[in-house]
Every structure is written in C-alpha cells, then in structure tokens.
Amino acid sequence: MMLKSLAAAAALALLAAPALAQTADHPQIERTYPSPTAFIASTVTVPAGTELIFLSGQLPDVADAAAPAGTVAAYGDTETQAASTFAKIEKLLETRGLTMGEVVSMTVYLTAAPGSERMDFAGMMRAYNKHFGTPEQPHRPSRSTVQVAGLAGPGFLIEVEVTAARTH
C-alpha cells in the first residue's frame, strides 16, 4: 500500500513537473505596494530575460484647435493634458502588443499652470486613475512625479515617460 502511494505521488510529480518548470522558466514581474489601495508600486522586480520597452517622454495633443497655438487653452488643463498623454502612451504600447498593465516604471513631469505656483497633481491623478489600479487593469507602476520649471514647448503642463516590460 505504501509502495502504491509512493508510486502515485511520483507519477503526479512527473505530471506536474512541466508546469513547475514552465513557471520557473517564465518568472513573472513582481510588484509590491505599500498598501492594497496605493496608487503606485513601492518596488517592481523584472526577471532576467524580460524585454524592456522604453517610451520617450510623451506630450499631449491639441485639445482645442480654435485656441491660440502654444497656450494652455490649446492643450487643456492638467487633467485634459494627462488624459491625452496617457491615451498616446496606450496607443504606442499597443503598436508593440503591450498594454498599460505592462508599464513597470513611470516618470511624470508637471509644470504649474500660468498664474499658479504649484503643479496640479490632483488633475494628473484623475487621469492616471483611469488607466492604473482599476478592476480591469489592477497593475500600478513605480512612479516619480516632479514639478519642473518648463517643458518642451509653451502650453504643455505634463510630459510622461514610461518603461514597459514583457516576459517571454
């Protein structure tokens, strides 16, 4: 009886071995969060052999073509600009067969709107929260958000660069 149990266990181990080997051969990206509802990951560990895709800083598209060129009115407030920028990033990732869920690192550069001393972090977050940490896409990247004196052109309030990772 003991011998039959050992044989059965060995057979199960052999059947399970390919699945175990496959898991070991294809380690997943590991994210840690300071709390379950945190907006960003504290750490993201990308296993060896993972393909990294670096997207250059993305700026928003014009939101109001009737507004004077190079103005905040042309590109919109921070939330509008952030929504446009995240949509551009999403489309660029799609060209590589990736999703926002595969973004592992992000740097957000914000400027203060004319007449304001501080960046509109809340406006950026309203757009960000539509793409990260949702029931449909629960992953959140590691992220730094900084206020800068200016960006590549007048009217821009946000620039975002990301790194995405694809395990093989």
Check residue 20 and give its pLDDT: 30
Q: Is residue 101 a part of any domain in this protein?
A: yes
Q: Is residue 3 a part of any domain in this protein?
A: no
Average pLDDT of adjacent 10-residue blocks, the chain of 168 residues:
44 33 65 95 96 98 97 98 98 98 98 97 98 96 98 97 96
State how far the Cα of 52 lies from the Cα of 12, in Å rounded to an integer: 37
Check residue 105 and give its pLDDT: 98
Tokens of 95: 């060209």
Q: Is residue 6 a part of any domain in this protein?
A: no
Q: Is residue 117 a part of any domain in this protein?
A: yes
What residue numbers bound the domain in which 38 lies?
Answer: 27-166
DSSP per-residue string spanning 32-82: E-SSTT-SS-SEEE--TTPEEEEEEEE-PPPS-TTSPTTSHHHH-SHHHHH
DSSP per-residue string spanning 105-130: EEEEEE-BPTT-SSB-HHHHHHHHTT
Of 97, 120, 112, 106, nearest to 167 by C-alpha is 97
Q: Is residue 1 a part of any domain in this protein?
A: no
What is the pTM assigned to this prediction? 0.84
Q: Is residue 5 a part of any domain in this protein?
A: no
Of 79, 77, 81, nearest to 61 by C-alpha is 81
- Give residue 114's identity as a one-letter amino acid code: P
Q: Into how many domains does the chain fold?
A: 1
Q: Domain of 78: which CATH number?
A: 3.30.1330.40
Check residue 74 and give its pLDDT: 98
Question: Which residue's structure tokens are 């629960």?
Answer: 138
Q: Is residue 128 a part of any domain in this protein?
A: yes
Check residue 53 and give its pLDDT: 98
State how far the Cα of 130 lies from the Cα of 84, in Å rounded to an integer: 12
Q: Is residue 58 a part of any domain in this protein?
A: yes
Check residue 168 and give its pLDDT: 84
